[in-house]
């Protein structure tokens, strides 16, 4: 990238901008890109406007929540899909020079559409990193450099190409973009063995608010801490992660056992709460909970499916289950021994005969209208609470709950090691979903239902604060859309996502992006200038 820094260069750009004041935002942006860009990396075919036939396809490509793709949802002036790291740099520079609000998307698993919809700030553009998906695996070094637009499925596949006994502990859904996934924490089926994806990051490259590309050494340990779990869209545009590979066995065992209410599901699940966080750390045993119609009847029941991955063979797994969780009744015929990469496909919900090459598609198979919420549980929910939960699930058309067990290695990190604070003492995390297919027609009905369910769960989940997972963004959590980026407004959701780490994130944001270039409805806010003066009289940059 050309980096004109002289006074003359700035004057030339200022003249260009003033001459194109009557031009469209797209034309002004292209002129600015032309001024700054490396001529060896043309970008013209990477800009999609509503006039392009491909615009809607690109906009919809990785977005999961159809609520934010309806015609009434705000649309960007254009979508820029950079081909190089330098393109991302100039996009940041030019958006600031032209006063254009910028949203960044790496994968699209964005529950509230914050990476591709701007409700309050228009005009806006999207920088979509989908074309930046290189993966360079170094088995001898037990590491890999991965670009932000690659999916976790692609990362897993490229690792497996080089080795059958290496993996990375992140991602249950294979179409997650690794940029946003890891920056929010990145849990996966090996989290109880090796921690989160963000716990296994060695280095990174990020474009900061000044358009500079910084690695770990250049950004410093404070910013490197913040981007490993501090949530996307706050500190810069993540370009690359250097991840640490972890050992996996040649044989991995998977199983799914389903219990309905008629099969003592309540008692078995009550026991699971006590067992799953303490059982052998090689076993990840999540529970998928949803209503189902009773066979040969019209009534509905609740099913609880224990969807699991064990880092080892079936015989050892059966011994572990016999000793710790005989209530599930696991048998040898329930178990399937497979490779680690095939277990990735199994946990992601692919049929057993699916070839691993499907991971290279990088596409989400999940597109719905939905609303989601999250909770962390620190004490087992009593059976009476579970029964009340079943009653409420049966009232909704298509609800879904996923309970992911913690414990194991997750207990070995302190709450402040990275911004992700949900550590020792957490039994499991709950994800709540309600899904529907009729667009905006009955959206309020379903959203009201999940809010009532969330209120019902209050006595049974974490308190002071009631914790939530930042990668399951929830705009219900104290977000005032009209003033969502103010520090006072942000404290409500900030402590839920980050607990006491929120204060450190705010200080880092204030240092690296005081002008709040990277912002959305739940981005980390900088402290206002007056607050900084009050808090630190020695801070010369604020006086």
Distance of CA 72 to the CA centre of its chain: 25
* b (16+ CB within 10 A) / e for 35-72: bbbbeeeebeebbbeeeeeebeebbebbbbbbbbbeee
Does residue 450 contact residue 401 with C-beta atoms inside 8 Å?
Answer: no
Nearest to 168 by CA among 180, 181, 313: 181
Does residue 435 contact residue 368 with C-beta atoms inside 8 Å?
Answer: yes
Sign of CA dihedral 531, 534, 538, 543: positive
CB neighbour class for 244 (10 Å; exposed up to 12, middle 13-18, buried from 19): middle
Between CA 389 and CA 394 the distance in angstroms is 9
Phi, psi of 206 (to 5 degrees): -140, 145
Nearest to 94 by CA among 31, 18, 2, 22: 31
Does residue 320 contact residue 120 with C-beta atoms inside 8 Å?
Answer: no
Q: Which of 194, 454, 472, 495 is catalytic?
A: 472
- Known catalytic residue at 472: yes
Between CA 511 and CA 277 the distance in angstroms is 38
Six-digit token string for 83: 């081909």
Between CA 181 and CA 113 the distance in angstroms is 14
Task: Give the position of tokens 């074309």.
Answer: 131
Beta sheet of 143-147, edge-to-edge order: 135-138, 143-147, 237-244, 201-207, 213-214
Does residue 148 contact residue 179 with C-beta atoms inside 8 Å?
Answer: yes
H-type alpha helices, 176-284: 178-183, 191-194, 216-226, 265-275
Q: Catalytic positions, please?
A: 472
């Amino acid at each position: 990238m050309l980096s004109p820094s002289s006074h003359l260069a700035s004057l030339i750009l200022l003249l260009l901008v003033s001459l194109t004041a009557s031009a469209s935002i797209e034309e002004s942006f292209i002129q600015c890109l032309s001024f700054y860009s490396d001529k060896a990396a043309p970008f013209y075919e990477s800009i999609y406007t509503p006039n392009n036939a491909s615009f809607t396809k690109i906009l919809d490509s990785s977005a999961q929540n159809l609520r934010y793709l309806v015609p009434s949802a705000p649309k960007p002036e254009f979508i820029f899909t950079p081909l190089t790291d330098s393109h991302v740099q100039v996009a940041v520079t030019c958006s600031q020079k032209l006063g254009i609000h910028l949203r960044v998307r790496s994968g699209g698993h964005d529950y509230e559409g914050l990476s591709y919809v701007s409700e309050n700030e228009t005009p806006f553009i999207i920088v979509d990193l989908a074309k930046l998906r290189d993966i360079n695996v170094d088995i001898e070094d037990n590491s890999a450099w991965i670009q932000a637009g690659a999916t976790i499925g692609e990362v897993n596949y490229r690792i497996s190409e080089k080795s059958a006994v290496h993996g990375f502990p992140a991602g249950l859904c294979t179409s997650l973009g690794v940029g946003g996934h890891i920056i929010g924490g990145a849990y996966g089926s090996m989290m109880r063995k090796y921690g989160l994806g963000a716990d296994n990051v060695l280095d990174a490259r990020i474009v900061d608010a000044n358009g500079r590309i910084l690695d770990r050494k250049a950004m410093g340990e404070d910013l490197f801490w913040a981007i490993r779990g501090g949530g996307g869209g706050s500190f810069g545009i993540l370009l690359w992660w250097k991840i640490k590979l972890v050992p996996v066995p040649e044989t991995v065992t998977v199983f799914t056992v389903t219990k309905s209410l008629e099969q003592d599901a309540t008692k078995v699940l009550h026991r699971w709460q006590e067992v799953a966080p303490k059982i052998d750390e090689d076993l990840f045993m999540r529970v998928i909970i949803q209503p189902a119609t009773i066979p040969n009847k019209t009534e509905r029941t609740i099913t609880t499916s224990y969807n699991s991955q064990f880092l080892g063979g079936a015989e050892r797994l059966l011994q572990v289950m016999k000793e710790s969780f005989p209530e599930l009744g696991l048998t040898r015929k329930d178990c399937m021994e497979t490779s680690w990469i095939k277990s990735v496909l199994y946990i992601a919900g692919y049929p057993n005969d699916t070839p691993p090459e499907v991971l290279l598609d990088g596409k989400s198979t999940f597109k719905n209208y939905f609303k989601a919420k999250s909770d962390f549980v620190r004490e087992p929910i009593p059976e009476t609470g579970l029964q009340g939960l079943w009653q409420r699930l049966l009232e909704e058309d298509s609800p879904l709950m996923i309970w992911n067990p913690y414990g194991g290695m997750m207990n070995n990190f302190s709450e402040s090691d990275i911004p992700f604070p949900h550590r020792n003492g957490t039994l499991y995390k709950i994800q709540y979903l309600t899904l529907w297919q009729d667009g905006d027609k009955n959206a309020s009905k379903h959203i009201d239902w999940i809010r009532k369910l969330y209120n019902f769960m209050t006595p049974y989940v974490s308190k002071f604060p009631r914790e939530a997972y930042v990668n399951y963004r929830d705009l219900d959590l104290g977000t005032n859309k009209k003033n969502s980026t103010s520090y006072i407004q942000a404290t409500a959701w900030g402590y839920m996502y980050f607990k006491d780490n929120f204060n450190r994130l705010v200080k880092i944001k204030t240092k690296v992006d005081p002008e709040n270039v990277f912002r959305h409805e739940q981005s980390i806010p900088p402290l206002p200038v007056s607050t900084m003066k009050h808090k630190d009289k020695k801070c010369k940059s604020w006086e």
